[in-house]
Amino acid sequence: MDNPLLAPSTLPFGAPRFDAIRLEHYLPAFRAAIAAGKAEVDAIAADPAQPDFANTVEALEFAGADLERVSGIFFNLLEAESDDAMQQVAEEVSPLLTEYEMYVSLNERLFARVKAVYDRRDALELAPDQRKLLEESYKDFVRSGALLSPEDKKTYAALEEELSLLELRYGKNVLDATNAFTLHLTDEAELEGLPQYVRDLGAQAAREKGLEGWLYDLTHPSYVPFLQYSARADLRERLWRAYNSRALGGPSDNRAVCVRIAGLRRRIAQLLGYATWADYVLEERMAKDIPTVRALLDHLMEPSLPAARREVAELLAYARERGYAQGQMQPWDFAYWSERYRAEHFALSEEQLKPYFRLECCIDAVFGLATRLYGIRFVPREDLPVYHPDVRVYDVQDADGRHLALFYADFFPRPGKRGGAWMTNFRELSAPGGVEQRPFVSIVTNFSKPGPDAPSLLTHDELTTFLHEFGHALHGMLAEGRYPSLTGTNVARDFVELPSQLMENWGFEPEYLRPFARHWQSGEPIPVELVERLVAARNYHAAYFQVRQLRFGLLDLAWHTLREDDGRPAEALEAAALQDCAVLPDIPGTCISTAFGHIFSGGYSAGYYSYKWAEVLEADAFARFREEGIFNPATAASFREAILSKGGSEDEAVLYRRFRGRDPEPDALLKKLEIK
């Protein structure tokens, strides 16, 4: 019990002992936790008492708690604080976990007990969350092969093991390919067009590598502003091509991995009786089936595609008037000319906005919004250990002082942290034996680090990213319930983005922005006219960005609605899926799929459409806030009660109707984006 991953934590709230955890602790902890989980499962399966909800379904829900704790720490750090040694542990652990999952899901005695309770469900006096847990538990067994023949169960287990390893390999390849490229500049003339903060970022990155000059890479805070501002089309092209050819060839090639992952998923789905992987996945989503998803994408694409093409044509004409000689707008030029057009027509640029969004002020403002809406507050806990010096931890308290969660925030990029931003949990809300264990919630981002002469300053886009991930965090922190699989963000994938995307709206509300957005040097509040221009520019190129997201959704469906292997390589499948909805020219030697981690290693397979599905929900939901007041405590209380606190304890469509009084209206999104 000297392993800090296994020994009960003596820290306040049972916080993880990050200060004591070492690499060598993980494998022994996984092995011990798996053995303990199997023993708990065996005890449930062998119980001589008649199966009932408590001794079977509820007992199974809380079995494997040690494994949940170890996995919650390891796999989150694998994303945020990884290295080759951690990746090696992941590769060793993956088959162990798959074998454990098969041990549970293909356990015939255990399934027989669950089925016995399920068959008597109408005669049992179960609370709504208990009924949902019973139904989900039975369905999980069936969807994991419990009704397969013994031979097919072996095949299923082998396919799942290979799939889990390939998904890990895919993610590692993307990370390796991302880290493998840098743009090292030594001539100041090559910095033409770059604002000072982007130059400072490049200089700091070079210093950290012991280099002279400026260094740019493929992480978001480096890649995006370089493409926006660099006046050097040749350098923009080099960076764009490197980003859009990640894991396409070379030592980290993901082309065959994509095809194999999609093939394994298809074989698993068909073994379980579904025509495609998408059919299998969507059964558990709000959308329910492929035609419904396609109908949504088509409904949004029909007005958005011509509007996006008009936006690009207008931008091309603008660029040509200023000497742009290309016959078409090239993809590495779009962000540059788009930023110039925005700066001229709206008198607005990220460079103008950035000095007003100091990270520390944004933290206070985001926390303050949660306080204003939901009454909660955030108390720093510097006494609790963290896994990296950049990480901050807070005790989240309700208005009455009740402890709700520990909240960990990890803001800055570093080697070993994957790109992007995400929310996760180190521990889910749970109540084993009726004793509540509040969650440990985390958000991870890649915001620009403080430099020697300036603090961390966010772009407005990064502020909305912060609000987005914090919306997920609220879903976790404000959770109520007793069963971890039904609380917090454990909801249908096309529902989970509702709280996060809803929060982004406040990032465009003058009443919210003006009190905290102050110049980091002078302390002057952000000018009223600058906020007005920000709001006016909100839907600038909205159709273009909508089509971009819809294309990702179509590509996802193309991979996961295949009924058989047609022999096409990744590039050919992608080209066919996207040929009718291009707004910029396709460039040979590039590929989205090889670095599309959301669908190949990130849990969004056959589910990328859910971002747009949730945008419809949030546009419709925020309309109520607009009608009743964006800080209206009664509206916020209704959203907390109907959505944030409920998790997946009830059908998501029912929860939404409880908040809105009706089903969502898809045109709410087109109206919000002003796409006609």
pLDDT tens by residue, 600-617: 998 899 999 999 999 999
Question: What are the pLDDT digits (tens) for 455-478?
Answer: 999 999 999 999 999 999 999 999
Q: Going by DSSP bridges, is the β-strand pair 422-427/440-444 parallel, antiparallel, or unpaired?
A: antiparallel
pLDDT of residue 1: 57
Catalytic pick among 462, 469, 497, 618? 469
Alpha helices in 181-219 (DSSP H): 196-208
Alpha helices of 494-609 — where are they, by DSSP H? Answer: 497-504, 510-513, 528-536, 542-560, 570-578, 597-600
CATH 1.20.1050.40 fits 12-147, yes or no: yes
Q: How far apart are CA 137 and CA 116, in angstroms?
A: 12
Average pLDDT over residues 565-584: 95
DSSP string, 147-186: TS-HHHHHHHHHHHHHHHHHHHHHHHHHHHHHHH-EEEE-
Task: Provide the pLDDT for residue 419.
Answer: 83
Q: What is this structure's pTM?
A: 0.87
Give yes or no: 469 in active site: yes
Judged by DSSP in three states, 394 sits in strand
Vertex 446, ends 442 and 452: CA angle to 5°? 120
| Region 490-508 average pLDDT | 95
Confidence at residue 453, expressed as pLDDT on a 0 to 100 scale: 86
pLDDT at 448 over 90: no
The 3-class SS string of 484-502 reads: HHHCCCCCCCCCCHHHHHH
380 and 392 Cβ atoms separated by less than 8 Å: yes
Residue 400 CB contacts under 8 Å (≥ 6 apart), including other chains: none
Domain ranges of the chain: 12-147, 181-246, 355-541+611-673
Average pLDDT over residues 251-275: 98
Residue 183 has pLDDT above 80, yes or no: yes
Is the C-alpha dihedral spanning 654, 660, 663, 669 positive or negative? Answer: negative
pLDDT in tens, 368-391: 999 999 999 999 999 999 999 999
Mean pLDDT of 646-653: 95
Angle, alpha carbons 511-515-519 (nearest 5°): 125
Which of 228, 235, 234, 242 is CA-nearest to residue 213?
235
Q: Tell me, what's the pLDDT at 179?
A: 94
Q: Which two tokens stand for residue 279?
A: 């059919």
pLDDT cut 70: percent of the chain above it: 100
CA angle centred on 34, ends 33 and 39, rounded to 5°: 95
Residue in this structure with the two tokens 């915001």, named with its chain if needed:
447
- Of the pLDDT bands very low, low, confident and very high (cuts 50, 70, 90), residue 420 is confident
Q: Contact, 27 vs 89, CB < 8 A?
A: yes
**CATH number, domain 355-541+611-673, options 3.40.50.300, 1.10.1370.40, 3.30.1370.60, 1.20.120.160:** 1.10.1370.40
Give the residue-averaged pLDDT of 574-582: 96
Q: How far is CA 134 from CA 50, 53, 244, 353, in A?
A: 16, 8, 45, 51
Q: Spell 241-269 as b/e; 16+ CB within 10 A means b.
A: ebbbbbbbeeebebbebbbbbbbbbbbbb
CB–CB of 221/446 below 8 Å? yes
Q: Is the pLDDT of residue 235 over 80?
A: yes
Residue 221: pLDDT over 90: no
> pLDDT tens, 48-63?
999 999 999 999 999 9
Q: What is the three-class DSSP state of 643?
A: helix
* Model confidence at 125: pLDDT above 60: yes
Q: How confident is the model at residue 324 (pLDDT cuts 50, 70, 90)?
A: very high
Alpha carbons 476 and 499: distance in angstroms, whole number:
10
Q: Quick one: tokens of 407?
A: 């909240």
**Is pLDDT above 70 for 618?**
yes
Q: What is the mean pLDDT of the chain?
A: 96
For residue 461, which of 376, 540, 548, 370 has the smallest C-alpha distance? Answer: 540
* CA gap 539, 505 in Å, rounded: 12
Q: Helices (DSSP H) in 568-651: which residue ranges? A: 570-578, 597-600, 610-628, 633-639
Question: At residue 480, what are phi and psi to the nearest 5 degrees?
Answer: -130, 155
Q: Dihedral of the CA atoms 372, 376, 380, 383 (nearest 10)?
A: 180
